[in-house]
Amino acid sequence: MSVISTSLPLTQPTSHNQWVLASNNKGKLAEFTRLFAEANLDVTVIPQGQLDIEDAIEDGLSFVENALIKARHASRISGLPAIADDSGLCVPVLGNAPGIFSARYAGEHGNDAKNNAKLVTDLQPIRDEHPNEPIKGMFVCVLAMVRHADDPLPIIAQGLWQGEILTAAHGDGGFGYDPLFWLPELQATAASLSAAAKNRISHRGQAIQQLLAQLPS
């Protein structure tokens, strides 16, 4: 992953002009590359893998807690401000599972195929009981920005993306649960959208816009 660099002046929340992006997820990094480029920040955003920073242990009980854990971890090791994302899919009829365990829902971290298959299997009894009712789902993204590892006032932003869960995958773009995430208003899955279209309406795109709005001007 190349360093993300943009050029529009912006007053920074710290004296640094570099931020660390606390993620090693290739799908997320690709989306953040586009989102930060579109934001035109006068900041160099460096994926933590370029600094040999391993993933933090995500032992929080919420998206907010895990995002903060990751941001503080990357900032503490790098000595730079850090931004972290914690995101996942919540399905109300499953008690909002997979939730914070979305990436390892089937037991193997980052195995999208197994995670999707488990979700379809877990939902089948509910579909059998209510065959004519769509199953609602919601993508959640929480972003945490810390100026330093012990920042007492981190910037928190949240994006929510509503949709329905299909019985089979459609589309070959995106990552994670995108092929199962149906958008009735667009008659498409998240995996069927172009990268630009997805960024305009996705949970991650919404969260980025909220975070940018909270930065000092």
- Could you read off the pLDDT of 152-199 as tens digits, one per residue? 999 999 999 999 999 999 999 989 999 999 999 999 999 999 988 998
Answer whether residue 3 shows pLDDT above 50.
no
Least confident stretch, 8-17, 59-68, 162-171: 8-17
Whole-number pLDDT of residue 16: 53
The neighbouring-strand residues paired with 5 are: 44
Query: Quick count: other Cβ atoms within 10 Å of Cβ 211?
Result: 20
Q: Which of 54, 56, 55, 44 is nearest to 80 (CA)?
A: 44
Q: Which of 85, 86, 112, 178 is catalytic?
A: 86
pLDDT at 9 over 70: no
Q: Is 86 a catalytic residue?
A: yes
Kindly give, in sequence order, each residue whose CB lies less than 8 Å from that of residue 54, ignoring residues fewer than 6 positions away: 24
Local confidence band at 23 (pLDDT 50, 70, 90 cut-offs): confident
- 4-214 folds as Maf protein (3.90.950)
> Which letter does DSSP use for residue 111 in this model?
-
The 10s digit of each residue's pLDDT in 77-98 is: 999 999 999 999 999 999 999 9
Tell me the per-residue pLDDT of 141-163, one tens digit each, with 9 for 90 and over.
999 999 999 999 999 999 999 99
CB environment 18-55: b (16+ within 10 A), e (fewer): bbbbbbebeebbebbbebbeebebebbbbbbbeeebee
d(CA 173, CA 38): 20
Q: Report the amino acid identity of residue 161.
A: W
User: Does position 31 have pLDDT exceeding 90, yes or no?
Assistant: no
Whole-number mean pLDDT of the chain? 89
**Would the pLDDT of 64 be above 90?**
yes
Model pLDDT for residues 114-125, shown as the tens digit of each residue = 999 999 999 999
For a pLDDT cut of 70, what percent of the chain falls above it?
92
Position 69 confidence tier, pLDDT thresholds 50, 70, 90: very high
Angle at 128 between CA 126 and CA 132, to 5 degrees: 90
In the chain, where the domains are located: 4-214
